[in-house]
Structure 1
C-alpha cells in the first residue's frame, strides 16, 4: 500500500487518528541512558534516537488526536490526554497535519502523563488565540485531582502572576454512560478497566453532585479486605478510562486487566467471541514492555487481549525503552503468521516470541509518534506505514 502524505490534511475517510505520543510516563529517550558512563550496558533503544534510523523510538507520553466528521459534515478535532510532553507533540504534529482548533479533550486518568499538559492549552484560548475555550471531558475523580493539583484551572481566583490561564468548560463523564461531543453527533462511550490489584469504588466515576467542583466525601480505597502487606509501600489505586469512539475505535491505555463485564460491553463475552462481527475495526491497546506491570499489560497479555477482541487492526502503544520499535515489529509480525525474517533475531525478539502463546494469527503492530490511521465509511482501516 502506498504511503499517505502528511500534506493530505483532510482525507475522505470520516475518521482520522494521529498518535501524538506512544511512550510511557518517562518518555523516550531516557536521560540516564543517554548520559550513561562508558562501562555501563548501553540502552540501544534510547541511543538509537540520536540517529535518523531511530526516530520511531522517540516516544512522548501516550496521546492521540482524532479528526472525525460531525453531523454537520465538518471535521471535529478530539484529543485524548494532554500529558507532560503534549506541547512539543502538538508543535510537531498539528502543523504537519493541518490541525488547529480542538473541539474536545478526553482525559483517561489523573496521572502526570495524561493531564500535566492542561496548562499548555492556554495557547489555544489565551485572548481567544484560536478559540474562546476548550471542552474537557473527565471523570469526577480526575476532576477532583485537577482541582487539587491545579486549582487555577478550575477556579480563576486561584491564578497568580498575570492570571493568564486557559479557558475550560468542564464535562463530568461516567463509566459506561455514552455521551456526545457537544452538538456534533459524535458518540463516545467511556469505560473503566482498572488494574487487576484494585477494585474501584462506584463513586469514583460518578459525579459527586450536579456541581462538578464539589469533591466527593469518599476517598479512593484499596479493595475491601485487601490491605498492603506489612512493611510494603501502599500504592494508591486509580482508574483509567478507555473509550469506544463512534463504534469504530476502541482506545485503551494504562491497563493491566479487563474485567468480564467490560468484555461484555465490547460484545466479546466467551459465548460469542471471536465470531461476533460487530467489533470496531481499530483497537488501540496498552503494552509497556515484554513483562507485565502493576498497571500495564506485558506483550503476552496484550496479544491475548488482542486475539480475544478480534479487531481488524490492533495497534499497541504506551511503550517503555526495553524493546525497540523494530523489535516490536518483528515480534508482532510473527503473531500475524510470519515465520521467517531477513535478519538474525535479537535476544529481545527471541524472548518476546517465547512469551507469546500459540493462537490464531492476527494483525497487530506497534504504534509510533506521528503514525496516522484512517477508517473509511465502510469501516475499513488503513494507515500510512503498514500494509
Structure 2
C-alpha cells in the first residue's frame, strides 16, 4: 500500500494542510512544538486563505521554523480547540505576524472559540480581550483579535475565512470537552488533537458507518503503549481508526517514545493488514488536498 501524502511541492492553485507541530502538550524534547495545524485553503478563484488551528506555547518557534519554509504570508483566522496552554499561550505572539501599528489600527484577526475558552482567555489575556482603555492608560502594541463564540455542537457549523468547519466535541478526560473540527467539501478531513473518548454523536458524524467516510483523519496518539486518562494512546488510536474507517489517518500528539521511521514501518504493516493507511505525521509536513 503506497502512501498518499506528499511532504513537499504542490501547486499554488491547490489547498494544503501544513502540520505546524505534531508533539504532545509538553513538547518533545521539552522545547519543541505542540500540536497545531495550518489550513492553506485555496478558494475557487485561486485566492489562498490561511486558517490556524491552535496557537500554543511554542507558536513563535513554529513561525520561525515553518512560515518562511512554506511561504506562509499571514494568518487570516484562528480556530481554538480548547483553552489549555498547548492551544492558546502563543496568542500573544500573533502580533509578530500582524501589520505593525503603534496605535493598533489594523484589522483584527478573527478567533473562533467556545464560551468556556473565552471565559478562560479573559483571565489569561485580559489585555487581548478588553480593548477599552482606562482613563490615562496609554496605548500599547498588542495582538489584535475579534472574538467569535462557536457552539460545542456538531449541528452548528461556522465559517472561518470562507471555509466551513463543523465542531466535533470529544472528551479530553471524562470531565472536560475539547473540540475537534470537520472540514472540506471535496475531501472530508477531521482533526482531533486532544481526545480520550469520542462520544456517539461525534462518532456518527465522522464514521464510515455513520454520515460517511473521511478522506483523512488526523488523530491524537500520546504514548506508544499503555493508556492515558486524557489522550488516546497508540493501541486505542488504532482501534479508533478501525472503528471510524477513514481512507487514511495521520497521527499527532506523540511523545518521545516514538521512533518516527521505525514506527512508521510498523504502521505500514498494520495498514496493509487492515486496509487503512496510517502513518505518523511530523512537524513541517505538507499534505496537498482538495478542499
Q: TM-score higher than 0.5 here?
A: yes
Q: Which residue of 1 aligns with 2:197?
A: 257
The alpha-carbon deviation at position 28 of structure 1 amounts to 1.2
- 3-state secondary structure, aligned to 2:50: strand
Q: Is the 8 A contact 1:126 1:165 kept in 2?
A: no
Aligned residue for 1:46? Answer: none
CA contact (8 A) 1:126 1:164 kept: no
User: Of the candidates 154, 158, 164, which is equivalent to residue 187 of structure 1?
Assistant: 164
Residues 320-353 of structure 1: CA distance to partner in whole angstroms, max 9, x if unpaired?
112221232133112113xxxxxxxxxxxxxxxx
Does residue 20 of structure 2 align to residue 20 of structure 1?
yes
* Structure with the greater alpha carbon radius of gyration: 1
Listed as ranges, the matches of 1:301-340 within 5 Å are: 301-337=236-272
**Match for residue 119 of structure 2?**
144
Report the equivalent of 2:234.
Answer: 299
Tell me the distance in 1 between the aligned counterparts of 2:61 and 2:120. 24
Distance 1:316 1:5 in 2: 15
- Residues 280 and 2 (structure 1), Cα distance of their counterparts in 2 relative to 1, 3 Å cut: closer
Does 2:146 match 1:156?
A: no
Instruction: State the distance in 2 between where 1:158 and 1:294 align.
Output: 43
Deviations 1:274-327 (A, max 9, x none): xx7x32211100000122211100111100111122212100000111222123
Residue of structure 2 in register with 1:376 after alignment: 290
CA offset at residue 10 of structure 1?
Answer: 4.3
Partner deviation per Cα, 1:163-220 (whole Å, 9 max, x = no partner): 22111011111122101125x2x2110121013x52xxxxxxxxxxxxxxxxxxxxxx
Q: Shift of the alpha carbon at 1:73?
A: 3.4
- What does residue range 1-387 of structure 1 map to in structure 2 within 5 Å? 6=8, 8=9, 10-13=11-14, 15-30=15-30, 59-125=32-98, 127-128=100-101, 132-157=107-132, 163-175=140-152, 176=154, 177-182=156-161, 184=162, 186-195=163-172, 197-198=173-174, 237-247=175-185, 248-268=188-208, 272=209, 278-289=212-223, 290-337=225-272, 360-376=274-290
Give the conservation status (yes or no) of the 8 Å contact 1:284–1:314: yes
Q: In structure 2, the residue corresponding to 1:171 is in which secondary structure?
A: strand
CA–CA distance in 2 between the matches of 1:166 and 1:360?
A: 47
Matches of 1:24 and 1:5, distance apart in 2: 21
Separation (CA, whole Å) in 1 of partners of 2:65 and 2:78? 18
Distance 1:128 1:98, change over 3 A: farther
**Structure of higher RCO (CA pairs closer than 8 Å, 6+ residues apart):** 2
When residues 255 and 2 of structure 1 are mapped into structure 2, their CA distance, relative to the original with a 3 A threshold, is closer
More strand per residue: 2
Report how far residue 68 of structure 1 moved.
1.0
SS in 2 for 1:76: strand
Q: How far has the Cα of 1:5 moved from its partner?
A: 7.7
3-state DSSP of counterpart to 2:197:
coil
Partner-residue secondary structure (3-state), 2:214: coil
Gaps of 5+ in 1: 32-58, 199-236, 338-358, 378-387
* Partners of 2:48 and 2:191 in 1: CA distance: 20
